[in-house]
Structure 1
Amino acid sequence: MPSPELFHKILGLTLLLLPCYAQGKPGQFFPVPGFRAEKGLSQPYLPGFPSVTGNEMEDTVLQLKDRILKLEGVLRLQGKITTSGQKIFATNGKTADFYATVKMCQEAGGCIASPRNADENAAILHFVKQFNRYAYLGIKESLIPGKFQFLNGADLSYTNWYLHEPSGKGEEECVEMYTDGTWNDKKCNQNRLVVCQF
């Protein structure tokens, strides 16, 4: 977890870049001034950031790269965001079928929203209620009818099925979230709200 000081610097950078992305000019501030050698020091430093050495520098750079990639993905959606734990959930307010949703989220640098606990489910529900539209989740039926898993093949450790769901038994391979936060198995060709996670 980045320190509060580091978080505020990332937030400042984001606020600085936001107008460029809104104007369609993401390259206006890049390349960012790189690391340079400070007088009398063999270690490079980034102006405005505290001096760190060795593994601390690598860890900080990796954390920054990861956070910036997530923020850039959110900016590409040009929509709303909400958070749960370390995850950022975002929507552009558009609807698409399941496969188009997966593609849109990947192109934005994230993946389709896949709740792993009640808090993440509530973060996705925020958009479902706000737009009054069901949303696909990153969950699909496995090769065993009636058994669902995350898109990476991992078993579900959290579920929030509506009463008597899933009921499709091989006919409904995708999962949608209702406006009350419960889940239903559904065919993948319906248009649903696009919600991504970063």
Structure 2
Amino acid sequence: MMLSPQLHKILAVAFFLLPFCAQGKPAGFFSKFSFKPFFGDRSNNGDELQIPDLPPLAGNEHGDAIQQLEHRISRLEGVLRLNKMITESGGKIFATNGKKANFDDTVEKCKEAGGSIAAPRSPGENDAILYFVKYFNTYAYLGIKQSLIPGRFQLLNGAQLSYTNWYPNEPSGKGEEECVEMYTDGTWNDKKCNKNLLIVCQF
């Protein structure tokens, strides 16, 4: 018995957000949701994170342990949704830790978490990313980069864009702006890759 792909995604999201949540009060983010850290408080010595209200895994059968783990992950998904830390569209889960980075570091952070930099392929996915961009009132990089042809853009895996949402008269960098950012209205702009923008990953 194996974990479903959806539960694998939630587990990856959890590890991506773990350092963010474990601080107890996540750097002022999500304060209007009266956020309490799902991952618990540090113990008195400050070394160990305690996960509240979760009974230990029990049972001798491997299948029983996996069922219990799936249940815990499902509960985690509910907490993350309730606290507006994840959005979902098109079978993808989108998440942010509220931090900023340049394009290359954003790609690396998302990869380390088991995901990839967010790259919308539909209006619904664009809206899922836009949620975070609006919430933090800042721009975010997308997983789209200029191809070998100046002014032409593609997904990072080289696939052509089947969906775009360019701001009027964009892209306009004439080959000098190789990355793509999302504005707070959901439209896109070509941009140099060295600015620090909001990290949004997809899983």
TM-score between the two structures when normalised by the length of structure 1: 0.67
Distance in 1 between the 2:184 and 2:140 partners?
9
Q: Unmatched 5+ residue regions in structure 2?
A: 15-36, 43-47
Match for residue 46 of structure 1? 64
1:125-166 per-residue CA deviation (whole Å, 9 max, x = no partner) reads: 001111000000000000011110001111100000000111
Match for residue 20 of structure 2? none
Match for residue 80 of structure 1? 85
Identity %: 64
Distance in 2 between the 1:79 and 1:100 partners?
24
The CA RMSD measured in Å over matched residues stands at 4.0
Distance in 2 between the 1:128 and 1:20 partners?
25
Aligned residues: 162
Larger radius of gyration: 1
Deviation at 1:104, TM superposition (A): 1.0
More strand by share: 1
Q: Unmatched 5+ residue regions in structure 1?
A: 37-43, 50-63
Runs of 4+ in 1 over 4 A off after TM superposition: 18-27, 31-35
Greater shift, 85-94 or 185-194, is seen at 85-94
1:67-119 per-residue CA deviation (whole Å, 9 max, x = no partner) reads: x6xx79xx8xx982111131111111111111111111111111110000000
Match for residue 112 of structure 2? 107
TM-score between the two structures when normalised by the length of structure 2: 0.65
In the alignment, is residue 176 of structure 1 matched against residue 197 of structure 2?
Answer: no
